[in-house]
């Protein structure tokens, strides 16, 4: 009998729209939204249109907790926005909760965000300074300082009531000066993206990440998974191609581009070409999946794909690749047949468009082409149906 060890709950995946979570993402993006950094032009324009005092608060309250901008995550995560009864929380409910917290809690949040920075950059644990030890706080916060003026930060540390008021005031300022209208207008698009994304739940966190973002999961995120109990994928309006996340154990929230994901998975190719001059969010918002038509594969392409699928070993290869990208020798080892046979099967699958190949380090890495499999499935569903 093997050694008895304590069990750990299986990692849970969820796909949710959360106003408080999206607000955190929007504020961090606005903090970075300066011309020339490649961010969504909407963000750059919104930052320009914010009252100067709100811009200054944005830079101050994000600029003392490291490049990951941890401080403004703290009050929102205190709200526990992923709790089932708070998934549909309004902005007013968030503010009411934050107002109910004592000012001392905001000082605790500053300390916790700074401790996270220290851990990120490999510093040994530092004891939290006494509340009235201002020079101790200077030493404690300096490793995370970016754009914030430290003397101004320390003035907030010495006056937690003002820290609380200005933290809530920044959220209200961003909400009232454009972000609130944008979120309200686009909420249906976000909900549609979350619902569609939920079909990836059974594939595990790494594969769901690849499907939703179009990228492989970074090693940093993968290394955190043992500490995580729940991964929440949250559709974002303006994250673009950035990989953005919030990691507050036991939760990991990962943002994905709602407009791009809907376009990639719902809009047929002819529609993509027609809407080529539209921004991704506009195309996704205008797309109605209930009335969309799907152009089936040409008959010869469909036949080639079906022939490639008509073999037990090739189906087994696709099952293996459904768990993640593999190089050829890994497939040989798992399939238990000759390497020459595996190479032949992979060649047929590649020619039929059912797998993709990515050379790296002198080896070929294979992955399922999910778009092609979907096209085959939809083409079969269209057989016998009269167009229109």
Q: Name beta bridge partners: 245.
A: 254
Which carries the bigger pLDDT value, residue 339 or residue 388? 339
CB 47 within 8 A of CB 55: yes
123: left (phi over 0), alpha (psi -120 to 50) or beta: beta
Q: Transcribe 115-131 into DSSP letters.
A: HHHHHHTTPPP-PPPPT
Q: What average pLDDT does this structure show over 328-344?
A: 80
Residue-level pLDDT at 278: 39
Residue-level pLDDT at 173: 97
Instruction: Give the rounded distance of the alpha carbon of 5 from its chain centre.
Output: 33
Is the pLDDT confidence value at 324 over 50?
A: yes
Task: Report d(CA 10, CA 230) in Å as an integer.
Answer: 9
Task: Report d(CA 70, CA 73) in Å as an integer.
Answer: 5
Task: Report d(CA 253, CA 318) in Å as an integer.
Answer: 29
Residue-level pLDDT at 362: 63
Is the pLDDT confidence value at 182 over 90?
A: yes
pLDDT band, very low/low/confident/very high, at 120 (cuts 50, 70, 90): confident
Whole-angstrom Cα Rg for the chain = 25
Q: In what order do the strands lie in the sheet with 363-368?
A: 326-327, 363-368, 355-360
Task: Report d(CA 348, CA 351) in Å as an integer.
Answer: 5
Residues 83-105 have pLDDT tens digits of 999 999 999 999 999 999 999 99
Residues 198-256 have pLDDT tens digits of 998 888 898 999 999 888 888 888 888 888 999 999 999 899 888 899 999 899 999 99
Is the pLDDT confidence value at 112 over 90?
A: yes
Which carries the bigger pLDDT value, residue 298 or residue 78? 78
**315 in helix, strand or coil?**
helix
Residues 286-302 have pLDDT tens digits of 334 433 344 567 777 78
CB 237 within 8 A of CB 260: no
Name the DSSP class of 52. Answer: H
Task: Report d(CA 46, CA 63) in Å as an integer.
Answer: 19
> Could you give the domains of the chain?
12-258 (no CATH), 299-382 (1.10.10.10)
Residue-level pLDDT at 150: 94
CA nearest to 14, candidates 193, 229, 198:
198
Residue-level pLDDT at 291: 37
Task: Report d(CA 86, CA 105) in Å as an integer.
Answer: 21
Place of tokens 């009411």: 96
Task: Report d(CA 61, CA 30) in Å as an integer.
Answer: 12
Q: Name beta bridge partners: 358.
A: 365
Residue-level pLDDT at 6: 53
Q: What average pLDDT does this structure show over 27-37?
A: 85
pTM beyond cutoff 0.75: no
Whether the ω angle into residue 250 lies within 30 degrees of 0, i.e. cis, is: yes
Give the number of other Cβ atoms within 10 Å of residue 185's Cβ. 11
């Amino acid at each position: 009998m093997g050694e008895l060890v304590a069990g750990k709950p299986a990692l849970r995946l969820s796909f949710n729209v959360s106003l408080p979570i999206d607000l955190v993402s929007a504020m961090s993006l606005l903090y970075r939204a300066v011309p020339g950094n490649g961010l969504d032009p909407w963000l750059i324009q919104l930052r320009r249109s914010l009252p100067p005092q709100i811009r200054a608060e944005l830079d101050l309250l994000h600029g003392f907790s490291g490049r990951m901008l941890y401080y403004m995550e703290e009050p929102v995560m205190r709200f526990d926005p992923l709790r089932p009864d708070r998934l549909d929380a309004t902005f007013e409910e968030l503010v009411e909760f934050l107002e109910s917290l004592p000012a001392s809690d905001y000082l605790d949040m500053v300390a916790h965000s700074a401790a996270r920075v220290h851990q990120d950059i490999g510093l040994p644990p530092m004891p939290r300074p006494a509340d009235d030890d201002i020079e101790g706080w200077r030493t404690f916060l300096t490793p995370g300082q970016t754009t914030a003026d430290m003397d101004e930060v320390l003035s907030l540390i010495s006056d937690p009531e003002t820290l609380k008021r200005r933290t809530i005031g920044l959220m209200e300022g961003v909400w009232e000066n454009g972000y609130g209208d944008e979120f309200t207008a686009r909420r249906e698009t976000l909900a549609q993206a979350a619902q569609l994304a939920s079909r990836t739940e059974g594939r595990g966190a790494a594969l769901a990440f690849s499907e939703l973002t179009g990228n492989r999961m970074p090693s940093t995120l993968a290394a955190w998974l043992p500490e995580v109990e729940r991964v929440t994928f949250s559709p974002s309006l303006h994250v673009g191609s950035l990989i953005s996340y919030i990691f507050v154990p036991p939760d990991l929230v990962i943002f994905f581009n709602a407009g791009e994901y809907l376009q990639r998975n719902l809009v047929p190719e002819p529609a993509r070409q027609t809407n080529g001059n539209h921004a991704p969010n506009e195309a996704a918002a205008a797309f109605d999946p209930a009335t969309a038509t799907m152009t089936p594969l040409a008959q010869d392409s469909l036949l080639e794909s079906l022939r490639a699928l008509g073999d037990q070993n090739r189906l087994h290869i696709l099952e293996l690749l459904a768990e993640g990208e593999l190089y050829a020798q890994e497939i040989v080892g798992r399939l238990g047949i000759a390497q020459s046979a595996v190479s032949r099967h992979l060649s047929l699958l590649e020619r039929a468009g059912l797998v993709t190949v990515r050379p790296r380090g002198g080896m070929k890495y294979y992955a399922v082409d999910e778009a092609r499999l979907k096209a085959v499935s939809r083409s079969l569903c269209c057989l016998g149906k009269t167009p229109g």
